[in-house]
Amino acid sequence: MSLQNEPLTPLEGYAETVYRANDIPEQSYAPQNEMLRGRILETRLPWGSYLGVNPTTYQYSESWFQEYEYIADDYHDHTMINERRWSQYVDENVGALYRICRFLLFLYSHGFSFILPGGGRAGGGVIFTGIMAFCTILFIFAADTLLQAFTPLAIMLAICGSATLILYFWDKYELRFYKSNRNWTDELAFCRRTGMVKTSIGDFHFYEFDAYIEMTVGAQGSQFHSLKVIHRYPHRSQLPHTKDPLEFSFTVDGSIAQLYAAWDMLQRYMDVSQPLPDIPQVEPFRHLDPTTKAYDEAGKRGRPATYWRDLYANSSAEELKALRDAHRAGVDSAAWAGRPDLMELSVPNYRETRKGEPEDVNAFGRFPWKAGEFLDRPESVPPSEDVAERQNNDDTAR
């Protein structure tokens, strides 16, 4: 599917406050956010200029089909993303004691099991048992009896064996708890139908947030990057009893380019002039979104209505891994740099408050030195002159 030359026109079914990239209202000056000082926000990602590329974590989710099959008819309300909202919080219908016991059980089963979740790899139990076996060999002749010498090893085997058994049943039956206790809330979410971001301190327009790549440094000097979506006007959204800004974190696996893809996908999800991102999680709900329904009925998607469901149902683990690896390479090689920032047309001092953009998206995050240069973004043009570049193009995500 090639880029479309005409903007998609949303049908009825949306609130007046919906977000459209070609209709962002004028906003006030962006203040210098003092609360962000001390944090390493390496670059601010641009608004608009969609590439139509989704992060691999969402395009080829390892757990999606398992959840979809088990939850079945209730999947709409028990999934993080549907056609109405992208939820940011799980509201569990369980007590505090249950949460504590489950957390301790989780630590025990995942820390002492012979295998890691999903099987196939050695877990902490192998290390602990190996150490105990080595100690048993060293002190076997110092013990009074063989029973005394092998008792610690037997205890460790029992502990790790029990943890392995618990982890096995955890992996097998976790979805039972997902369906009965875990409910993705609508009260803390990015809402497509309204264009608002719902939070515990009020609702805010999506276009009032900015996306940053944040770098944190681990104890051993390792660098970790994450996508932060932060409210641009903290004086209107300061969290009570704290100086922290209102923000959301999005985690994806892989390179920094995957974080760019996550921001691209979130924008297209909220933009009702675009169809929903073509990812497995929202495929069952495409017909419930007016813009997406019109897009699909016009034949612009170019896929069967159950494309992702059939792909996961009929593909082996090896085939899905090959598709996942190819998609990851495609995300990394996409032209993320050098795009204009549409928000410059709506916020008077937006260009002056920007962070620099790396010439090579993936290179600038490499340890220990950042490769390449930071460049100025090209000037943004009015949406009417830049329609083609903002249209949905999920071809590269296939």
* pLDDT at residue 219, as a whole number: 65
Which H or E run contains 102? Answer: helix 96-112
Cα distance between residue 149 and residue 129, in whole Å: 14
Cα distance between residue 398 and residue 396, in whole Å: 6
Cα distance between residue 161 and residue 157, in whole Å: 6
* pLDDT at residue 390, as a whole number: 40
Cα distance between residue 65 and residue 56, in whole Å: 15
**Tokens encoding 67:** 């959840």
What angle do the packed helices 256-270 and 317-333 form, to 10 degrees? 90
Query: Which phi and psi (to 5°) does residue 93 adopt?
Result: -90, 60
On whether the CB atoms of residues 294 and 8 are closer than 8 A, the answer is yes
Please work out, in degrees rounded to the nearest 5, the angle formed at the alpha carbon of residue 254 by the alpha carbons of 247 and 396.
95
Which H or E run contains 90? Answer: strand 90-92
Return the number of other C-beta atoms located less than 10 Å from residue 221's C-beta.
8
**Strand, helix or coil for residue 212:** strand
Please compute, for residue 317, the number of CA atoms within 13 A of its CA located in the half-sphere on the CB side: 4
Cα distance between residue 139 and residue 264, in whole Å: 60
Which H or E run contains 267? Answer: helix 256-270
Cis, bond preceding 368 (omega within 30 deg of 0): yes
- Looking at the chain, how many residues does it have? 398
Cα distance between residue 246 and residue 257, in whole Å: 24
pLDDT in tens, the chain (398 residues): 333 445 555 557 899 999 999 899 999 888 876 556 667 777 889 999 899 999 999 999 878 888 888 777 788 888 889 999 999 887 766 677 877 887 888 888 888 898 877 656 778 888 888 888 888 888 887 777 878 788 888 999 999 999 898 888 777 666 666 556 667 888 899 999 999 999 988 999 999 999 988 877 766 666 778 899 999 988 887 776 677 778 899 988 888 899 999 999 999 999 999 999 999 999 999 999 999 999 999 999 999 999 999 999 999 989 999 999 999 999 999 988 888 888 988 998 888 776 666 667 766 655 444 445 666 677 777 665 444 334 444 544 44
Cα distance between residue 175 and residue 72, in whole Å: 11
Select from 119, 193, 122, 112 the least CA-distant residue to 156.
112
For tokens 């570049």, the residue is: 389
